[in-house]
Amino acid sequence: MRWAAWQRLAYPLIGAALVVSLWWAVCTIWKMPAAVLPTPMDVVRAIGSHWPALLSEGWITFKATMYGFALALILGIPIAVVVSLFRWAHDMFYPLLVALQSVPKVALAPILLVWLGTGIESKLAIAWLVAFFPIIVDTAAGLQSTPKELLELSRSLRSTRWQTFRMVQFPAALPFVVTGAKVAVTLSVIGAVIGEFIGASEGLGFLLLSATSQINTPLAFAALFGLSLLGVVAYLLVVAAERALAPWLPPPPPSH
């Protein structure tokens, strides 16, 4: 391996090792009780002894996240299409959609809980709700920024409205849809966890909450790591879908 490749691999590892050492140092120097700040070793042990529960609860949260996200795509994209293609639909509903977007969706969680109960439905609904608007807004923006020349070219060929949409506008909007989906999937994870915080009997959010109520902080940290892993996996799934659907996109800028 070349030196540059070594560096790319080594620096993040060194950085992570430094932060973990610092964490460990804080625990030992100030003699933190595990209930307040567990050592990295405590957390590793908690993961080791609870990994079947972490996996099964994680799977439940993951399902709620992905169902909510998928529903947001299934409903959001067609709504964005209708709003962008038909002037009257735009004038009737777009102001409403923008107004709704400014409602703090998380504040709706208790209401949704009353309506849908403590099962997967309420979690799914919250995950859907937070993902819905970024997808609509970005898809609509994409459909409205088709290059003018391509629209003129289609017009010069007397292309039908449906042909223009199918062959030009929609593919041209795909990068925007993907951008919206990346934001949305991250929000969906948050939505699902909030649903579990408010009233659920299973899932990583529930595990986290019950661990803290029993002052089992190492397990709470383990659940937290599980949630970050879940977020990364969900995000990577969207990136993989992007690569499969739109391989012509230029590679994304380095993430920050």
Are 182 and 171 in contact, with CB atoms under 8 Å apart? Answer: no
Q: Is 104 in the site for another protein (CB under 8 A)?
A: no
Report which DSSP code applies to 214.
Answer: T
CB of 161 to another protein, least distance (A): 12
Site string for another protein, 141-170 (x = CB under 8 A): ------x-xx-xxxxxxxx---x---xx--
H-run or E-run covering 222? helix 217-245
Nearer to another protein, 41 or 167 (CB): 167
Q: How many residues bind another protein (CB under 8 A)?
A: 21
CA distance 123 to 192: 5
Q: Is 253 in the site for another protein (CB under 8 A)?
A: no
Residue 40 in contact with another protein, rule: CB under 8 A = no
Q: Is residue 237 involved in binding another protein (CB under 8 A)?
A: no
- Burial class from Cβ neighbours inside 10 Å (0-12, 13-18, 19+) for residue 241 reads middle
Please identify, using beta-carbon distances, which residue of 250 and 253 lies nearer to another protein: 250
Tell me how far apart the alpha carbons of residues 171 and 215 are, in angstroms, rounded to a whole number: 52
∠ Cα 89 95 96 (to 5°): 90
Give min distance, CB of 246 to another protein, in A: 7
The site string for another protein over 167-206 (x = CB under 8 A, - otherwise) reads xx--xx-x--------------------------------
The whole-angstrom distance between residue 114's C-alpha and the CA centroid of its chain comes to 25
Cβ at position 139, least distance to another protein in Å:
16
- Token duo for residue 45: 């042990």
Whether the Cβ atoms of residue 83 and residue 90 lie closer than 8 Å to each other: yes
Please tell me whether residue 96 binds another protein under the rule CB under 8 A.
no
* By the rule CB under 8 A, 243 interacts with another protein: no
Contact between 123 and 195 under an 8 Å Cβ cutoff? The reply is yes
Query: In this structure, are residues 34 and 218 in contact, taking their beta carbons and an 8 Å threshold?
Result: yes
Residue 7 or 160: the one with the smaller Cβ distance to another protein is 160
- Give, as ranges, the residues between 120 and 139 that touch another protein (CB under 8 A): none
Pairwise CA distance, residues 24 & 26, whole Å: 5
Report in angstroms how near the CB of residue 138 gets to another protein at its nearest.
18
Residues lying near another protein in the complex (CB under 8 A) are found at: 147, 149-150, 152-159, 163, 167-168, 171-172, 174, 246, 248-250
